[in-house]
Amino acid sequence: MTQVERTPRTDSSERSFRGLAARVSLGRRFTPPSTEFLMIASTALLLTVFGVVMVLSATSAMAVADGQNPLDGALRQGVFAVIGIPLMFVISRSPIAFLKKMAWPALFGAVALQMLVFTPLGIEDGGNRNWIKIAGFQLQPSEFLKLALAVWIGYVLLRKQTMLNTWHQVFIPVVPVSALAIGTVLAGKDLGTAMVLVLVLLGCLFFSGVKLRLFIIPVILGVLSVLALALTSEDRMRRITAVCTDMSAYTDNCYQSIHGMWGMATGGIFGVGLGNSQEKYGWLPAAGNDFIFAIVGEELGLIGCLIVLALFAIFAVGVFHIIRKTRDPFIRVAAGGITVWIVGQAILNIGVVIGIFPVMGVPLPFMSQGGTALLAVLIACGVLLAFARTLPAAERGKVSQ
């Protein structure tokens, strides 16, 4: 009789517990995202949409002149945006443990994909062999290598967290493996992408807390590689040594740089209006690609340029908050490497457009025409959003496993 009386109470307790667990689980699903999540996601979306609009404006004129559909460039960019944006949010749900497990496979896969450029699938353009063509689609594997390298270095340095004061523990295997990965890009003579990969390596080392004296070997190796590739190429030396301050000497070496600056100067403060650029009518090479920021400056003026710069700044602030708040070394290092890649590449691209750096063929993240580059950046943002989801746990003193 006593046992019969206990059973209802037990069942009632179990039902109450299950109901409580269900409410807690449902509450977690509807927990509002962190401020960092919103900053990264919103700036990525705004820059991507802004980029598709500017690609349409920059490419439509020459498409019409060539007898093509003026929407072709924007449609191709839009397809990758439609694929990449949902993929970004799907990846943002990934557990950190899963991202850690994918570090080695992602690096091997990215290097294997990069090696395809040296097969009959490879395409050479402008002296660089850094593209492949599969089923009618042209891809740039090195874009995925940037993300894979950042995640892999974060995972390796996580395993060596207590040994980062010893130079050989930092050096092996991070520097040799990174050098081999970067070497596959250098073999295709793409110096601009190789420089970005070197920045990713140095950024990861910096955010891992490695002592500055241990940077000497990677920096020396990076500088020597860049110098060797520059000195052995007549075309690169021509671009590096060109002085483009004389606007009357706009032929040959300075043609693209000066037309980019002319476009920026023509825009003034408010621009000539969206779609009204003159430089895109065949005057400015790569108007939709590496020099799209010049079209932004011409059509939308200083105001448009400042908006783009502000969006990148908000993006960087969001990621740096993640780096500052997290207690997981993997998140800190990988997020630092990804940020150095995206923000550093944006600085390099804009520096080229305004004449600070020589032309190096580095696209503007989110905005330049190029489906592979856009897809890789959106996937990287998905990884950053996954990191941002761990912040409430990190702030309670928990480290994601």
Omega before residue 86 within 30° of 0, cis: no
**For residues 31 and 177, what is the distance between their CA atoms, to the nearest angstrom?**
40
Element (H, E) at 138: strand 137-139
Closest CA to 343 of 371, 370, 318: 318
> Rounded to the nearest 5 degrees, what angle is found at the Cα of 374, between the Cα atoms of 370 and 378?
175
Q: What is the pTM of this model?
A: 0.86
Q: Is 375 in contact with 85 (CB distance < 8 Å)?
A: no
- Each residue's pLDDT tens digit, 107-162: 999 999 999 999 888 888 767 788 888 877 788 999 999 999 999 999 998 877 76
- Each residue's pLDDT tens digit, 208-228: 887 777 667 767 777 777 777
pLDDT at 245 over 70: no
- Each residue's pLDDT tens digit, 66-106: 888 888 889 999 999 999 999 999 999 999 999 999 999 99
**For residues 88 and 92, what is the distance between their CA atoms, to the nearest angstrom?**
6
Q: Write out the E strands in 27-135.
A: 122-125, 128-134
pLDDT at 8 over 80: no
3-state secondary structure of 233: coil
Q: Write out the E strands in 32-71.
A: none
